[in-house]
Every structure is written in C-alpha cells, then in structure tokens.
Amino acid sequence: MKIGILTSGGDCPGLNAVIRGAVLKGLKSHGDEFVGFRDGWRGLLQGDVMELSRHSVRGISKQGGTILGTSRTNPLGPDGGAGVVRDTMERLGVGGLIAIGGEGTLAAAQLLAQEGLRIVGVPKTVDNDLDATDYTFGFDTAVQIATEAIDRLRTTGESHHRCMVAEVMGRHTGWIALHAGMASGAHAILIPEQRVCMDQITEWVTDAHKRGRAPLVVVAEGFVPEGRESAHSERGLDTFGRPRLGGIADVLAPEIEARTGLETRATVLGHIQRGGVPTAYDGVLATRLGMAAADAVDAGAWDTMVALRGTHIVRTGFAEALGKLKTVPGGRYEEAAVLFG
C-alpha cells in the first residue's frame, strides 16, 4: 500500500524518528511505499508531497524538528474538508494516512476518520498532557533541556545572590515544570493545576534565601497565581485565537523582588525546549510508535492511534483517547512541595 505521513501542530524532538520507524517497518515487513505531506494538513489539502524512501529516512532520527515541516493548518477549515482530503489521497494513490500530532491534530484526524478516511494517529507533544498515552515523546527531551538550563541559572543566581525565575512550556499542564523543577532542586514549582498565592511564593523564596541559597522558582507558562484573573490577559490572543502565553516569569519576578527585597531575574526558556536531538528515551519511544503505526495501517486499524501503556505500545480508539487532558495529579505536586522553600 502507498502510505502518506504528515506531522502537524507544534514540532517536538522525535518526529523524525517516528517517520523513520514507520517507513522502515512498512517497507521491510509489509512491502509498503511512503510519501510525506509537507507542512502538515496543508500539504495534504494541496497535494504537496515528497517521496519517503529508505534512503531519505537514513540517519534522520538524530535530527531535531521534522523533515516534512509542520503547520497549524486545520484540515476542516474553509479550504479543507473530508472531500478535499479524500480527493487528494485518491489522486495520489494513498491508501492510508499516518497523522503525527497533538490534541488538535488528532481531533481533526478523528473527525476525518469518522467520515470514512483511513487514518492512524501518533500522539505527540512536549507537554506530555495527552491522557491516552503514559508518555509522549519529546517530553523527556524538553525536561532534559529545561533542567540543564535551570542548573545554569542556579550558578549565576548563586554568584549574584539573586532569585532566579525560570519559565518553561506548559500551556495547560505543569509536567515539564514539575519534572525539570524536581530534577534541578527548585525552591518553588508553579503549575497551572495549582493556584498558589503570592504570599506562599514569597514565603518559599524567603525561606530559601534565609538558608543562604539563591532561590530558584520554576514556573509553567500557564500558571496563574491564586486570586488573579489571569497573569497573561494583557498579552492578547495570537492569530489562531489562543491566549498569547509566555511571560508569566516577567510578571512574577518584579513582584517577588518587591515583596522580598531580593534582586530577581526572569528567564523564559521558550522554544529551545522543542528543538534539537531527542534523548535516547524519546528516540526509542518515537521509533516504536512509528513502527506500530505502520503495523496498524497494515492491519487496517483505522480510526485508532498508537500509545504507550506501561512498556507496551498499544492501539486505542481516537474516541477513547481524546477529550481528556492528562493533568499533574495533586499528589505529585504535594510530593514535590515537601522540598520547596
């Protein structure tokens, strides 16, 4: 069968490993051939394809980003729809599609699958907030990058006797903040799931300072202090209508400085958390998911996505997998909070 692959939504380390895993498994085990759609659903809607041969996937699992490119194009937008997708697939002789993406991509894939399109999904996000899978590839790499960066902030903070506030990704959930914060020994971790008040944050920072430490605060971009409407409202909406996040560290730092009298600096780590080579863990997970996606296509397991459960890669229905965000459980936060201050 000729199989199409696309990567859609925000990129993350491991996308190329999925592509390579799917192509090699499909070629070797099932005699499939592959094409890649450029820039996500845009390439599918416009029939913009590239051949994916054994040669073209050689060595790519070590590359960051996606060789196919990505976009946030909605396949069900004004220029799209199931009919356009079906026409392109038929015209190019593509018998099945592997869609690699996050919540938005997989939700669109589900709607198209319900229209009879032959699609298998592969979950992806650095945020690790998809409920259907125990871990998403890209998360381990993002935590590694964030931890290394926060460790560097610690030493400069210690030299200057400053409080350092590090903002990490996490629009809806605080997985990266929790893991990178724990790994780097942060004195406070602030996540969207827990509305901590400014008095409590001040107390943690002051306690750490009194013990002679340079206080280190790790905050997820979606955090809003208790008692505040939103820390981000003044940043408005992006062109996709989403609140423009990023910048909570810049809100917190002057407030911490005013309350504690400690010189405080903010650093927003931003997209470096999504770039570069995947960790070995993410590389293996992504490769296994890609291989499982090729098997699912071969088995005609349409309207499913592949997921990690424990150490096994399983197939799960889109319906079962979507619509529920995997948030940080209260118990995980309480466990970490014992170490704050």
- Nearer residue to ligand F6P within complex by CB, 213 or 232: 232
Cα 271 to Cα 128: distance, rounded to the nearest angstrom: 16
For ligand F6P, the closer CB: 127 or 140: 127
Q: Which stretch binds ligand F6P (CB under 6 A): 85-93, 167-175, 211-219, 250-258?
A: 167-175
Q: Is 70 part of any known ligand binding site?
A: no
Residue 72 CB, nearest approach to ligand F6P (Å): 7
Tokens 């903040």, located at residue: 177
Q: Could you tell me how many residues of this chain bind ligand F6P (CB under 6 A)?
A: 11
Does 10 belong to an annotated binding site?
yes
> Would residue 127 show up in a list of annotated catalytic residues for this protein?
yes
Find out whether 72 is annotated in a ligand binding site.
Answer: yes
Q: Are residues 123 and 307 in contact, defined by beta-carbon separation less than 8 angstroms?
A: yes
Q: Does 127 bind ligand F6P (CB under 6 A)?
A: yes
Q: Catalytic pick from 127, 295, 298, 303?
A: 127
- For the chain, the straight-line distance linking the first and the last C-alpha, in angstroms and rounded, comes to 58
Q: Which is nearer to ligand F6P, 171 or 235 (CB)?
A: 171
Judged by CB under 6 A, the residue of 26, 101, 121, 170 near ligand F6P is 170
Q: Which of 120, 165, 169, 178 binds ligand F6P (CB under 6 A)?
A: 169
171 binds ligand F6P (CB under 6 A): yes
Tokens at residue 195, please?
């509305």
Site membership for ligand F6P, residue 106 (CB under 6 A)? no
3-state secondary structure the chain: CEEEEEECCCCCCCHHHHHHHHHHHHHHHHCCEEEEECCCHHHHHHCCEEEECCCCCCCHHHCCCCCCCCCCCCCCCCCCCHHHHHHHHHHHCCCEEEEEECHHHHHHHHHHHHCCCCEEEEECCCCCCECCCCCCCCHHHHHHHHHHHHHHHHHHHHHHCCEEEEEECCCCCCHHHHHHHHHCCCCEEECCCCCCCHHHHHHHHHHHHHCCCCCEEEEECCCCCCCCCCCCHHHCECCCCCECCCCHHHHHHHHHHHHHCCCEEEEECHHHHHCCCCCHHHHHHHHHHHHHHHHHHHCCCCCEEEEEECCEEEEEEHHHHCCCECCCCHHHHHHHHCCCC
The least distance separating ligand F6P from the CB of residue 172, rounded to whole angstroms, comes to: 8
- 221 a known binding residue? yes
In the complex, least distance from residue 171 CB atom to ligand F6P, rounded to whole angstroms: 4
Tokens of 278: 């995947």
Query: Is 26 or 102 the residue whose CB approaches ligand F6P more closely?
Result: 102
Query: CB 226 → ligand F6P: shortest distance, Å?
Result: 21
Enumerate residues 244-273 that contact ligand F6P by CB under 6 A: 245
Q: For residue 6, what are the β-bridge partners?
A: 99
Residue 74 binds ligand F6P (CB under 6 A): no
Q: Binder to ligand F6P among 6, 57, 126, 251 (CB under 6 A)? A: 126
Per CB under 6 A, which region of 163-171, 207-215, 259-267, 327-335 contacts ligand F6P? 163-171
Least gap, CB of 240 to ligand F6P (angstroms): 8
Contact predicate 110/322, CB 8 Å = yes
Q: Given the rule CB under 6 A, which of 73-81, 119-127, 145-153, 331-339 is the region that contacts ligand F6P?
A: 119-127
Residue ranges binding ligand F6P (CB under 6 A): 10, 102, 125-127, 169-171, 221, 245, 274
* Binding site listing for Mg(2+): 103
Which residues does the annotation place in the binding site for ATP? Answer: 10, 72-73, 102-105
Known catalytic residues are 127
